Structure 1
Amino acid sequence: MAESREHTFTGARGANTVREWPLDLPRYIAILVHGYGEHIGRYEYVADRLVRHGAAVYGLDHMGHGKSEGDRALVEDFEDVVTDVHAVEERARAGHPGVPVVVIGHSMGGMIAARYAQRYGDGLAALVLSGPVIGEWEIVPALLAYEEPPDTPIDPATLSRDLSVGAAYAEDPLVWHGPFKRATLEAFATTLAEITKSGPLGPLPTLWVHGDDDELVPLAGSRPGIEAIRGTDLTERIYPGARHEVFNETNKDEVLDDVTTFIDRTLPR
């Protein structure tokens, strides 16, 4: 696996930990945006593929996640998370002036990445959304119907057909295994509505990858969100039988081949 290093910076709501997988003279910068309750350390395989493809890779643990500060899995305003990701992009650009930037977001990270593209897309070469929480995520209104959201633990088997992925997730001390915080659910609802309202991404090349057996973020719920933001350059890849974490699926190399092929198309020649 590619070597990595960590540093911290003061984010919108405290100290955030960033991991970098460096590469001298990269063809592009890849910024990874992780999902709810997890952390950027779960993306070693993805980062390694991208480094071998010519990328310098960066990703932070969001506030309240992984090694970053904050109450666990508490996000009161996702605009703050978008701002934190932008700080990572600025650091990456300072180290590699003039190098194209690609943002890759998974699940909740796909929602953050979509909003990021609406705010900062003019500076991006491409956007990749993996199983994105976008459009209609049924768990949000269902849990907000309760004054105190019930604990609805993720079934690790829904992550991937490779059951070792779910087992590692269940045993990972940096993964949040507790219930949703009400404030986080409210922030999800606000951001999903804001993304839909803010509209298309224009000419930004966008790749949407999703498993058709995704029970955590069902395909049917994400599609309306994709339609709301789709610009003039959208590529869609739906993988039969794949579950939520397509980057950790049994066909993960096929998925990452699709990602790198897409990125090749978008980079300046």
Structure 2
Amino acid sequence: MASEEEAISTFVNNRNQKLRRWCLPEATSPKALCVFVHGVGDHILAYKPVAQVLWEKHNIASCGFDQVGHGKSEGARVDIMDFQHYVDDLIQYIHMVKSENPHITIFAVGHSMGGLVLGHALLREADLVDGAVMYAAAIHANPEVFTPFKVTMAKMLSYVFPSFPVGGIGDEALTRNKEELERLRTDPLRRQGKLKARWGHHTINALVDFNSKMSQITVPVYIAHGGEDLVCHIDGSTKFRDTISSTDKTYKVYDKGYHRLHSEPDGLGEEFIEDMAQWMCSHIKSGQ
């Protein structure tokens, strides 16, 4: 297995920004490949523990990249001129991965904001991947986080003071796992602090736009949400299940689960990862 350092490289997006990409491991014969799409303020290595389980228990390789303005990628920190830039980069990356692995089943896993990015990518290219996992996806804004006042302020400030902090998410709402909370708070690659006005404005617009179009999605999909997620409202996942045109869709609510399902304690994180892996295994292309 390649070391973490050996497996890290970069690619240049269509806006000439260098983005950090990562793979675990550089396997020669995995039975499937999973592309992780991380959430706001996060970075791709935060999903390494999940990737290790997928590889060691199921022979599924994983890869991904730090989205622009995140982790070790270039770009203003957690800021965006257009939400579709996230989508552009993901589509470019997946095409690159598919060209490097032409005969393998490709899945994409979108967590939180990463789910919204993945959703928009699937609107643009229905057959971008062979299957998608959307968990704790940012499809419906929590009204307690995105209050009407904050939404209005973000819109106004995005033009005159785009970096103005308009709100954030308390770490305690992310997971019940105390060790994971400590890791998040001390992770030098993770965005600490409040979100910016321009990011908030463009993300809310992208969310509204996605809700009006998500019926167009036809890819097989596994939808998961924590029953006590206070960051991304569970109503978004329920609506997604009921609205998309996919005939192959699975939906599961993990009772007591917070936002970072993959790291939840008391066996819940392990249950989610195993469920996701089993779903992937059942959707690997025949004859591969």
TM-score normalised per structure 2 = 0.86
Conservation of the 8 A alpha-carbon contact between 1:101 and 1:124 = yes
Who is 1:261 aligned against? 278
Out of 259, 273, 276, which is 1:244 matched to? 259
| CA-to-aligned-CA distance 1:182-202 (integer Å, 9 cap, x gap) | 211121122112212223255
* CA RMSD across the alignment: 2.0
Query: How far apart, in 2, do the equivalents of 1:116 and 1:67 lie?
Result: 23
Alpha-carbon distance, 1:257 to partner: 0.8
Out of 221, 228, 231, which is 1:213 matched to? 228
Taking structure 1 as reference, are residues 141 and 154 closer, same or farther at Cα in structure 2, changes over 3 Å only? closer
Taking structure 1 as reference, are residues 180 and 202 closer, same or farther at Cα in structure 2, changes over 3 Å only? closer
Who is 2:45 aligned against? 41
Alpha-carbon distance, 1:150 to partner: 4.8
Q: Give secondary structure in 2 for the equivalent of 1:19.
A: strand
Name the amino acid aligned to 2:248.
D
Taking structure 1 as reference, are residues 3 and 258 closer, same or farther at Cα in structure 2, changes over 3 Å only? farther
Alignment of 1:141-156 (within 5 A): 142=148, 143-146=150-153, 147-148=156-157, 150-156=165-171
Name the amino acid aligned to 2:138.
V
Taking structure 1 as reference, are residues 140 and 154 closer, same or farther at Cα in structure 2, changes over 3 Å only? closer
Who is 1:131 aligned against? 136
Query: How far apart, in 2, do the equivalents of 1:46 and 1:35 lie?
Result: 15
Q: Which moved more, 1:95-104 or 1:8-17?
A: 8-17
What is the number of equivalent residue pairs in this alignment? 269
Taking structure 1 as reference, are residues 150 and 63 closer, same or farther at Cα in structure 2, changes over 3 Å only? closer
Conservation of the 8 A alpha-carbon contact between 2:214 and 2:240 = no
Name the amino acid aligned to 2:51.
A
Q: Give secondary structure in 2 for the equivalent of 1:64.
A: coil
Gaps of 5+ in 2: 158-163
| CA-to-aligned-CA distance 1:32-67 (integer Å, 9 cap, x gap) | 000001111111111112222222311110111100
Alpha-carbon distance, 1:206 to partner: 0.5
Taking structure 1 as reference, are residues 185 and 152 closer, same or farther at Cα in structure 2, changes over 3 Å only? closer
Alignment of 1:75-154 (within 5 A): 75-138=80-143, 139-140=145-146, 142=148, 143-146=150-153, 147-148=156-157, 150-154=165-169
TM-score normalised per structure 1 = 0.92
Conservation of the 8 A alpha-carbon contact between 2:19 and 2:74 = yes
Gaps of 5+ in 1: none
Q: Which moved more, 1:222-231 or 1:75-84?
A: 222-231
Conservation of the 8 A alpha-carbon contact between 1:23 and 1:51 = no
Who is 2:22 aligned against? 19
| CA-to-aligned-CA distance 1:150-204 (integer Å, 9 cap, x gap) | 5534322222121111111111111111222221112112211221222325542
Taking structure 1 as reference, are residues 99 and 201 closer, same or farther at Cα in structure 2, changes over 3 Å only? farther
Query: How far apart, in 1, do the equivalents of 2:32 and 2:151 lie?
Result: 40
Alignment of 1:193-204 (within 5 A): 193-204=208-219
> 2:37 matched to 1:30?
no
